[in-house]
Amino acid sequence: MGSRKCGGCLSGLLIPLALWSIIVNILLYFPNGQTSYASSNKLTNYVWYFEGICFSGIMMLIVATVLLALENDNNYKCCQSENCSKKYMTLLSMIFSALGIAFSGYCLVISALGLVQGPYCRTLDGWEYVFEGTAGRFLTDSSIWTECLEPAHVVEWNIILFSILIALSGLQVLVCLIRVVTQLSRILCGTYSVIIQPGII
């Protein structure tokens, strides 16, 4: 009972993390609150991978909903044996937790790539990825951020929002990983047997 309540708390935590991921990803489309750059496609290409909106957002909301439903005691009735029901609920929980790791892991990787690449901005030479060849070194050298003339403060905007996405998706990966470990411990440590004895069903 205690482990299921803990699992429910962890699954519930995925919901606010997913909602914040959606909000942060949407903000990336509007540097300094301006819509003109999105309409003219003058944004970093990694924004268009929808990592926060779709994968760490909508897909994780679905995963969290399913995991919360699986923690409901009323679901342990899928077959005649309670042990059989728990077996299938555990396997489903592990599968959806693994999907959660994949979805949030995708967001984590894409956000990290977007952070290291730097923003797409206007320089004296035109619109370009001016920091793309620095291998992320520009992140610790704020003196060169002024090379981006437009959008204003786009470097800070991208660094902050991509960093938040990395943190949010990293937490999602951690929560889902804890759930996988918890489910494995139920199986391996004998919280309940997952081996159906002949004649039970």
What is the model's pTM?
A: 0.86
The predicted-structure confidence for 25-42, as pLDDT tens digits, reads as follows 999 999 988 999 999 999
The predicted-structure confidence for 143-197, as pLDDT tens digits, reads as follows 999 999 999 999 999 999 999 999 999 999 999 999 999 888 877 775 544 444 4
**Dihedrals phi, psi of 126, to nearest 5 degrees:** 110, -165
Residue 95 and residue 66 in contact, taking contact as beta carbons nearer than 8 Å:
no
Is residue 76 predicted with pLDDT exceeding 60?
Answer: no
pLDDT at residue 182, as a whole number: 87
For the purposes of burial, counting CB atoms within 10 Å of the CB of 122, is it exposed (0-12), middle (13-18) or buried (19 or more)? middle
